[in-house]
Amino acid sequence: MKEYLTVKGRIFDMQRFSVHDGPGIRTIVFLKGCPLRCRWCCNPESQKYDIQEMTLGGKTKTVGRDVTVAEVIDEVEKDRVYYKRSGGGMTLSGGESLMQPEFATALLKAAKERSINTAMESTGFADFSVIERYLQDLDLYLMDIKHIDSEKHKAFTGQPNERILENAKKIAESGTRLIVRTPVIPTFNATKEEISAIAEFASGLKGVTEMHLLPYHRIGMDKYAGLKRDYTLKDLEPPSKELMNELLAVVNSYGLKGQIGG
């Protein structure tokens, strides 16, 4: 077996027939561990690198397992025929794939060697020298840009945004296809002005033509209790359809192809 196939990494889930994170029918590999602590995060079990226990519906399950690249790629291979028919492939998500460079780059390499399309959903929060290693085997970078104001970014995600914005420019320069994705979170960025600032930034990135607005939802709320953590956005209502449409118009006004949802 080729050596890179034996590289181990830590994932917490794999999801087949995923149709919202990259083109076509995809298999998502969720890597464990994230440098950000977004308050709305729908996968709070993804944040810590450590293997954890989470209780949902009265059942306690272990979150996180160590697997080899070969194990993951075998699972990814199973849906090859559907990738071929739909233009789909593999998407790395998390957590943050940039936290496990050896494993994640080996996964991308394994996929590309098998002619499987690759995408990565990522915050871009890492040294560019790390990111660079991913780009050669990556077909699509789905990059989260959550806010232009660094302080507000830090208040809601635990990290400032300068490095993220800088990396976005460099990724765009590199020629890798980049789509900007923005979670729309009321009280954080769900205003025309804030979305406008992000859209303006996105439209200035070389070659970037698409921007996705992902409306806030409460899918992960129960998981916080399952991890014995507080959910600080308890009373937050998802943005209305009307508001989403208004924000979409803002995005489109910058000459970008906007889209609601992935």
Longest dimension (CA), the chain: 54
Residue nearer to another protein on the CB measure, 78 or 206: 78
As measured in angstroms, the least distance from the Cβ of 93 to another protein is: 11
Helix, strand, or coil (residue 11):
strand
Report the residue number, 131 or 215, with the smaller CB distance to another protein: 215
CB atoms within 10 A of CB 216: 20
Residues in the site for another protein, rule: CB under 8 A? Answer: 15-20, 24-25, 42, 56-57, 78-79, 81-82, 84-86, 88, 212, 214-215, 217-219, 221-222, 238, 241, 260-262
What CA–CA distance (Å, rounded) separates 227 from 230? 9
Q: At what angle do helices 162-174 and 128-135 cross, to 10 degrees?
A: 30
Which residue's CB is nearer to another protein, number 137 or number 226?
226
Which is closer to another protein, CB of 47 or CB of 100? 47
Nearest distance in Å: CB 31, another protein: 18
Q: Decide whether 19 or 249 has the Cβ nearer to another protein.
A: 19
Report in angstroms how near the CB of residue 183 gets to another protein at its nearest: 9
Hey, what are 215's tokens?
Answer: 């409306």
On the 0-12 / 13-18 / 19+ scale of CB atoms within 10 A, 255 is exposed
Give the nearest distance from C-beta 127 to another protein in angstroms: 29
Shortest distance in whole angstroms from residue 99 CB to another protein: 22
Q: What is the 3-state secondary structure (H, E, C) of 95-148?
A: CCHHHCHHHHHHHHHHHHHCCCEEEEEECCCCCHHHHHHHHCCCCEEEEECCCC
- Nearest distance, CB of residue 59 and another protein, angstroms: 11
CA atoms within a 13 Å half-sphere pointing along the CA-CB vector of 64? 19
Q: How far is the CB of 30 from another protein (least distance, A)?
A: 13
Reading phi first (left if > 0) and then psi (alpha if -120 to 50, else beta), residue 108 is in alpha
Beta partners for residue 214, in sequence order: 183
Residue number with CB closer to another protein (19 or 155): 19
